[in-house]
């Protein structure tokens, strides 16, 4: 019996890519591959790429330049590029880097086994189609091996919003929702394998409208049905768009106990002029009113968001409007970036803000967001929270987990609690984490 082939996957970008990488590994498992932690001893290397950040494609080409040297010691090594850069660059990747054997877009990775077989015959394999078939239906069923207590589960893909700065509609395609029963079946499967917290994923996850026997399901209906799975203790979802929020999803944060009090809701700017230029189709005031409704439903909800500074045409006053929105909302976590052009998007053709101005604005925004994050994290001291223990810490007898609010928490606790949710009283706050004491009474 021959030794199994080794697969190394390097994942860039968002949680959806993490999920996709898991499914790619499962798809290739049927072709005799097992995963390895290093590229050096791999028989196949896959770069699962993201096109959102600045110079994403050039970073991938740089990585490919380093990896091609491994073919000297292993001529049978196959190198593949998957994900959004693969979708955007296609044949150009193979032209610029002949060491690449396989290029597959994010909607076609269910075809990886056939593509891999083609490369073993000495041919190149390229597939960046948006196939009509549902890739999830053509993937092998997930293996029953036990796994960690948290998992991502993609329920929706693509985007119809066409924000002026974003490539997602071009690399992921139109909005598509997975059928409700298929999502529920996969969730039950994960729970059987030891998962206790599921994060539902989508480019615009709250645009979910999955087909069900009784008509299309909304995200809130899906969440309420998932909550009926007894051993599933926690549900989260990301990423949402303000324009896709409905009343029942807001209400679910108040009446669905398993839906965690955490909401990631990007706004990008506090200036109505900039929001219009971004094609966001909502105002700053509408966003703030939406946040107020969530807080009415769940007063302790922790908010997270995304911001872009230096979008073309952003003035000093526009940026001050963003700071004012941040002051009003108060974020427990946030992601903020300088605007960078994406070829093919409308904003790329507009007059750009000076890089020094972008940098100064980003520093000011991040300083404000960091202050808010620290204040909110410090306010957790003395509170009782639920913690799902995920792994052992560096200290003897220490476990690390995530609170209801997604804070990392360190606790002295027996290893028997791994994979369970326990009550913890927070005793201290430090950079990016909390410490707590197990409540045993």
Burial 123-146 (b: 16+ CB within 10 A, else e): eebbbbeeeeeebbeebeebeeee
Instruction: Report the alpha-carbon angle 429-432-437, nearest 5.
Output: 40
Residue 91 pLDDT class (50, 70, 90 cuts) = confident
Domain borders along the chain are: 5-127, 141-260, 384-438
- pLDDT at residue 402, as a whole number: 98
Give the angle subtended at the CA of 429 by the CAs of 427 and 430, to the nearest 5°.
Answer: 140
- Give yes or no for residue 439 having a pLDDT over 80: yes
**CATH for 384-438?**
2.40.50.140
Is there a contact between 187 and 153 (Cβ–Cβ < 8 Å)?
A: yes
Mean pLDDT over each residue of the chain, to the nearest integer: 92
pLDDT band at residue 17, thresholds of 50, 70 and 90?
confident
415: left (phi over 0), alpha (psi -120 to 50) or beta: alpha
Per-residue pLDDT averaged across 351-369, rounded?
A: 97
Is 40's pLDDT higher than 70?
Answer: yes
What local confidence, expressed as pLDDT, does residue 54 receive?
A: 60
| Three-state helix/strand/coil letters over the chain | CCCCEEEEEEECCCHHHHHHHHHHHHHHHCCCEEECCCCCCCCEEEEEECCCCCCHHHHHHHHHHHHCCHHHHCCCCEEEEEEHHHHHHCHHHHHHCCCCCEEECCCCHHHHHHHHHHHHCCCCEEECCCCCCCHHHHCCCCCCCCCCCEEEEECEECCCCCCCCCCHHHHCCCCEECCHHHHHHHHHHHHHCCCCEEEEECCCHHHCEEEECCEEEEHHHHHHHHCCCCCCCEEEEECCCHHHCCHHHHHHHHHCCCECCEEECCCECCCHHHHHHCCCCCCHHHHHHHHHHHHHHCCCCEEEEEEEECCCCCCHHHHHHHHHHHHHHCCCEEEEEECCCCCCCHHHHCCCCCHHHHHHHHHHHHHHHHHHHHHHHHCCCCCEEEEEEEEECCCCCEEEEEECCCCEEEEECCHHHCCCEEEEEEEEEECCEEEEEECCC
Residue pLDDT, tens place only, 256-315: 999 999 999 999 999 999 999 999 999 999 999 999 999 999 999 999 999 999 999 999
Q: Rounded mean pLDDT of 241-247?
A: 97
- Dump pLDDT digits (tens) for 122-151: 999 998 876 655 656 656 665 656 688 999
Rounded to 5°, angle at Cα 345 from 199 and 360 = 80
CA dist 425 to 25, 378, 405, 434, 440, Å? Answer: 39, 13, 14, 10, 10
Annotated binding site for [4Fe-4S] cluster: 14, 50, 84, 159, 163, 166
Q: 141-260 in CATH: which number?
A: 3.30.750.210
Q: What is the mean pLDDT of residues 376-405?
A: 96
* Binding-site annotation: residue ranges: 14, 50, 84, 159, 163, 166
Fold for the domain defined by 5-127: Rossmann fold (3.40.50)
Query: Where residue 168 falls among pLDDT bands split at 50, 70, 90?
Result: confident
């Amino acid at each position: 019996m021959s030794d199994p082939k080794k697969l190394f996957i390097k994942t860039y970008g968002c949680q959806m890519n993490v999920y996709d990488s898991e499914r790619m590994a499962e798809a290739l498992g049927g072709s005799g591959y097992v995963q390895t932690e290093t590229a050096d001893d791999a028989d196949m290397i896959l770069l699962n790429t993201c096109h959102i950040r600045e110079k994403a494609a050039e970073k991938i080409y740089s990585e490919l330049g380093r990896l091609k040297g491994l073919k000297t010691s292993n001529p049978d090594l196959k190198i593949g590029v998957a994900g959004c850069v693969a979708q955007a660059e296609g044949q150009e990747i193979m032209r610029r880097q002949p060491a690449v054997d396989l290029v597959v877009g994010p909607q076609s990775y269910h075809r990886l086994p056939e593509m891999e077989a083609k490369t073993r015959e000495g041919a190149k394999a390229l597939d960046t189609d948006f196939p009509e078939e549902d890739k999830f239906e053509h993937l092998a069923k997930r293996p029953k091996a036990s796994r960690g207590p948290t998992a991502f589960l993609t329920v929706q893909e693509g985007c119809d919003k066409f924000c002026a700065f974003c490539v997602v509609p071009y690399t992921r395609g139109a909005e598509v929702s997975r059928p409700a029963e298929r999502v529920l079946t996969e969730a039950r499967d994960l729970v059987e394998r030891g998962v206790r917290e599921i994060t539902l994923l989508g480019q615009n996850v709250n645009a979910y409208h999955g087909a069900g026997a009784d008509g299309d399901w909304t995200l809130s209906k899906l969440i309420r049905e998932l909550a009926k799975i007894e051993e599933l203790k926690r549900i989260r979802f990301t990423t949402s768009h303000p324009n896709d929020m409905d009343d029942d999803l807001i209400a679910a944060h108040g009446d669905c106990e398993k839906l965690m009090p955490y909401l990631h809701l990007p706004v990008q700017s506090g200036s109505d002029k900039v929001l219009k230029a971004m094609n966001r189709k909502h105002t700053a005031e509408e966003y703030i009113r939406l946040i107020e409704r969530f807080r009415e439903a769940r007063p302790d909800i922790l908010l997270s968001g995304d911001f872009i500074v230096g979008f073309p045409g952003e003035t000093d006053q526009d940026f001050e409007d963003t700071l004012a929105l941040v002051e009003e909302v108060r974020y427990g976590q946030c992601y903020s970036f300088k605007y960078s052009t994406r070829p093919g998007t409308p904003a790329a053709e507009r007059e750009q803000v000076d890089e020094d101005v972008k940098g100064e604005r980003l520093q000011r925004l991040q300083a404000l967001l960091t202050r808010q994050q620290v204040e909110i994290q410090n306010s957790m001291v003395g509170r009782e929270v639920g913690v799902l223990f995920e792994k052992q810490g560096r200290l003897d007898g220490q476990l690390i987990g995530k609170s209801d609010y997604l804070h990392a928490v360190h606790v002295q606790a027996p290893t028997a609690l791994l994979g369970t949710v326990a009550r913890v009283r927070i005793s201290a706050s430090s950079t990016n984490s909390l410490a707590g004491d197990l409540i045993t009474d």
